[in-house]
Copies of this chain bind each other. A is one copy, B any other.
Amino acid sequence: MPSPLNIREDRLLAELAHLATISAHPAPAVTRVLFSPEDLAARAWLVSLASHAGLATRFDAVGNLFITLEGSDPSLPPVATGSHTDAIPNAGAYDGTVGVLGGLEALRSIREAGLTPRRSIELIMFTAEEPTRFGLGCLGSRMLAGALSPEKARALRDPDGRSLEDLRPADCPGDLEEVRLAEGCYHAFVELHIEQGPQLDTAGLDIGLVTHIAAPAAFRLYFTGTGGHAGAVLMKDRHDAFLAAAETALAVERAAIESPSPDTVGTTGVIRISPSAINSIPCEAMMEIDFRDTDLAARDQALARIREDAAAACARRGVSLDWSCINSDPPAVCAKDLLDIAARHADSLGCSRIPMISRAYHDSLFMARLCPTAMLFIPCLNGWSHRPDEYSRPEAITRGTAVLARTLFDLSA
């Protein structure tokens, strides 16, 4: 075992606080959409932090940032950690950032302890874990794992019709074909993240050892009805696209609630209607649905029911429906031996811990296709996440970072 690694809580908290100020919305809200001015500023600042710490940096063609603490035997597959710094509109300061800045602090703690790992340790800031810009989450890790082809990545368009290649900055060079990594390229991957649920906070526990990551699926639905003047078209003559969408949103909720699996969740997070005028009957509605489960069969059964309900609502209303899949990923299982190592370090640091499942979607879901992967959760207040009052206590962040640092160093031996 190494000499104790010193996590500098003051530095880590100051960096988290500073990163939160790089936002398109005023504090406490945090908004950093992929390749927005704020995202680019956060990237540049991270590169400067890493350089200041004497760590090498490079971007790949999709904008994943790799920060490397070189090991004594760089020919061996490195150990990796990482998370994301992008944030949905009006999010908080901890989702993703704890894994990136905590990961950076872990690397610095090893270096500042005068230790050199055998394997190199890489910190990855993944491009666009959040789906805000292109409607597809985990863009960077998905491409690293080959779960999104360069061809499909090139076809993505944001709401303004711009592509990845239109938007990526000059310091993300090269071809999208070169992003994919080979299986086994890393020895192991461990991600530190806030729980985004209330389990640890409610129970007063320090560390969640994630054993499974739930299977997410996302869909985009276009409803096409018939417009008209809100005053002049009688109710019996209407084909209101928004009302068909409203019924479908309620069907999504019903299917999740009535699913036999306790972990099924379904959300309609996006709805846009056209023409969007108070005195006009909506002729079009676009809706985005997120549906997840740890039980793939239960998820698919619930989804089939939603499709039936949506089709029935549309048929009754004379509205047509175009249903497309944005992504539908299988669940991931974390590597038991990595979790055992993390558990040992949690115990030696006096951290309480439980095994957990992750209902949220993470870059680890895709990293698990490349190498043995594990996730460490820390508590966040009331389980709140994706909102400005998202909060993790300083000691929770420090403990998680300390377990991460020791686990990475151990794995790099």
Asked if A197 lies at the interface with its beta carbon under 8 angstroms from chain B, I say: yes
Complex interface: chain B residues within 8 A of A229 (CB): 95, 196-197, 360, 385-386
Interface-central residue, A198, A271, A384, by most chain B CB under 10 Å: A271
A253 with B235: CB separation less than 8 A: yes
A289-309: contact bitstring with B at CB < 8 Å (1 yes, 0 no)? 110100000000000000000
Query: Is the pair B290, A271 in contact by a Cβ cutoff of 8 Å?
Result: no
A233 on the B face (CB < 8 A)? yes
- Known interface pairs A277-B130, A278-B290, A279-B361. Does A385 touch B271 (Cβ–Cβ under 8 Å)? no
Asked if A146 is at the interface of the complex by the 8 Å CB criterion, the answer is no
CA distance A290 to B250 in the complex (A): 22
* 24 A-B pairs with C-beta separation under 8 A: A89-B275, A91-B280, A137-B278, A196-B232, A228-B385, A231-B358, A232-B359, A232-B360, A234-B263, A234-B265, A242-B268, A243-B249, A243-B253, A243-B268, A246-B250, A269-B277, A269-B281, A269-B282, A270-B273, A270-B278, A275-B386, A278-B290, A279-B290, A281-B386
Interface residues on A, range: 35 or more
Q: What chain B residues lie within 8 Å of A267 (beta carbons)? A: 230, 240, 278-281
Distance between Cα atoms of A224 and B89 in the complex (Å): 17
A218 at the interface (CB under 8 A from B): yes
| A176 smallest CB distance to B (angstroms) | 23
Q: Which residues of B contact A400 (CB under 8 A)?
A: none
Chain B residues closer than 8 Å to A405, beta-carbon distance: none
Residue A276 interfacial (CB < 8 Å): yes
Answer whether residue A338 sits at the interface, using C-beta atoms and an 8 A cutoff. Answer: no
Whether A288 sits at the interface, judged by CB under 8 Å, is yes
Per the 8 Å Cβ criterion, residues 358-413 of A in contact with B are 358-361, 383-387
Choose from B135, B227, B232 the contact partner of A278 (Cβ within 8 Å): B135
Q: Is the CB of A243 within 8 A of B232?
A: no
Question: Is A97 engaged at the interface, CB distance under 8 Å to the other chain?
Answer: no
- Please determine whether B387 and A228 come into contact, CB atoms closer than 8 angstroms: yes
With contact pairs A269-B278, A269-B279 given, residues A385 and B91 touching in the complex (Cβ less than 8 Å): no
The answer to whether A107 has its CB under 8 Å from any CB of chain B is no
Partner of A231, one of B227, B274, B361: B361
The list of the 7 closest CB pairs from A to B, nearest first, reads A231-B360, A246-B246, A230-B267, A197-B232, A196-B232, A88-B277, A278-B288
A358 vs B274: C-alpha distance in the bound complex, in angstroms? 24
Residues on B with beta carbons closer than 8 Å to the beta carbon of A281: 267, 269, 386
Q: Which chain B residue shows the least CB distance to A254?
A: B235
Min Cβ gap A246→B in Å is 4
B280 and A386 within 8 A (CB)? yes
